[in-house]
Amino acid sequence: MQIEPGKLLRGIHYPEDLKNLSKDQLVQICDELRQFIIDHVSVYGGHFGAGLGVVELTVALHYVLNTPDDQLIWDVGHQAYGHKILTGRRNDFHTNRLYKGLSGFPKRKESPFDSFGVGHSSTSISAALGMAMASKYKGDTKRQHVAVIGDGAMTGGMAFEAMNHAGVSDSNMVIILNDNCMSIDPNVGALKDYLTDITTSHTYNKVKDEVWHLLGKISKFGFSAQDVVSKVEGAIKSALLKQSNLFESLNLRYFGPVDGHDVNHLVEVLNDLKDIPGPKILHCITVKGKGFAPAEKDQTKWHAPGKFDKITGEISKKIPTTPQAPKYQDVFGHTLVELAEKNDKIVGVTPAMPSGSSMNIMMKAFPDRSFDVGIAEQHAVTFSAGLSTQGLVPFCNIYSTFMQRAYDQVIHDVCLQDLPVVLCLDRAGFAGADGPTHHGAYDLAYLRCVPNLVVSAPMNEEELRNLMFSGAEHQAPYAIRYPRGQGVMPDWKKPLRKIPTGQGRIITEGKDIAILSIGHIGNYVLDNSEKFESLGLSVAHYDMRFVKPLDESLLHEVFGKFDKVITVEDGCLMGGFGSAVLEWMMDHGYQARIKRLGIPDKVIEHGEQIELHHECGFDASGILQTVKDMMNLNVEDKIKI
């Protein structure tokens, strides 16, 4: 289905076309761009609210800046749909987030207008500052460098580190703070309260506007007038807000707050800021989901709603005819509450993902025992370590890809001190349409080398519950990684039982070949049971459960009995589960032919999980083909896959 753009948008292929419009036409182009995003996401799905909230800002930036020579960096990228549509990708936008289609995030290889690839938050200021300092070094004083960062992403420590450096850099850069009080869930913390104080101080804003209009455009007065304005405005801020300005204390000239939905005023302000040297911050107030009433009302729900009816606002949902397995994240959330009801030392920690991780279930049941620390994964892990020193049992839930950001804290603050923290890594394996920035490809490899840490992965929902129960009682660091999406057990709420640390299990006995799997991906082996039988094969299947420690008794059995072994994992092959098995085999003097299935040593792009599993050869058909290859079976003489 081809979505038709509006009359003006139809003629906009690149930002240079946008510059041909008069200022009077900017409001209309914003309306058409917003409608185009609504039309597309309603039909094809994707992120929604964030893009609608920055339509006017996107148009104003490309109208004023000379992109791509001027560097425009979007933090995270949920907000960059309008940017993509205006920069040569409108006709391909229907492929957004689809296999082999456009990425859902800015990506350098996709377009020269994507100055920096993003997916993890709070990186934009550092990247923009690096670009600005490079321009300064090369003597290019005219190039603009703009970082657009949300107030949620601003809670990440990296953003503060970058602002601290920017303040002493004398670099030509603008930080645009897109302030909507939301990331995916409502923002938390002192910064949110501080920004609220600024935006709601009517007296300050009234006086600020009067000073601005009295002196006229700053760019007309030269540097001496700029100094006067800076001092006068700074005094106003300090007196009326009853506190010093956080940003100006870091040597960043602060402007705002301004209405982020007044496109013509944004154009004026951005043109003025181009003439002011040094690092600056523009505070824009926006509404996430702007222009689509349901998204404005329930911003978390409409962050990425999937397909929906744009007229009624009804989100499309498939109504199953049979009982369905729950999502792993929901099993985690309900099981955590169940454990917390029995053990008052259990607490929950998440870095700004309560709904995504289902920690919100714990927050509702035990609000005083649940902590959303903002987009701050490093802090989340060390905060959990601090809780642990006082006898509490923290379940620290962080997406696998984001746990990479807290790797030092996992090693230094949890594992070296041997503290009982349960690290729950959601979205392990392929994250699907979010792509390589969100794939949890590396956790098995980067965790199994850390001393004192147990590393486990459940094959189904019952196993997740039992590993959580076991981790809560384990008096040392304990990691559990599980995938995004549905499990396999509609009747999942089984009685809790403890799993001995490092103990795997035999799923199917066999004598011809052994398959060792770790985690949910082992269900693909089960899917092949009848096909194995039809091939006349006796295939043994072992669910190892733990990458560290490995079940040595099972491995002695496997290598004492089989000379053909397949390992299956939804993690990277370099240093992962298969590597661990190979190392163990060599250390114990066994010999066997081993084939490792997993994520190869390359970047795997976005797509549905099953598409990516198939691409990497460890879906059900890939496992079956590997068995046939190792057994030297002729496909034509047996069955077709």
User: Which are the catalytic amino acids?
Assistant: 288, 377, 405
Q: Where are the beta strands (DSSP E) in 499-563?
A: 505-508, 513-517, 539-543, 546-548
Q: Where are the beta strands (DSSP E) in 377-467?
A: 393-399, 422-428, 454-456
Are the C-beta atoms of residues 423 and 399 closer than 8 Å to each other? no
First to last CA, the chain: 33
119-135 as b/e: b if 16+ CB within 10 A: bbbbbbbbbbbbbbbeb
Q: Please list the residues that pair with 441 across neighbouring strands.
A: none
Structure-block tokens of residue 253: 């000239």
Half-sphere exposure of 437 (CA within 13 A, CB side): 19
φ, ψ for residue 283, nearest 5 deg: -95, 110
From 344, 360, 471, 455, select the one nearest 410 (Cα to Cα). Answer: 455
Question: Positive or negative, the Cα torsion across 344, 473, 520, 324?
Answer: negative
DSSP at 306: -
Are the C-beta atoms of residues 35 and 6 closer than 8 Å to each other? yes
Helix (H) or strand (E) holding 256, with range, is strand 253-259
Dist. CA 381–CA 386, nearest whole Å = 9
Q: Tell me how far CA of residue 86 lies from CA of 184, 260, 360, in angstroms.
A: 25, 18, 37
- Alpha-carbon Rg for the chain, nearest whole angstrom, is 27
Half-sphere exposure of 2 (CA within 13 A, CB side): 7
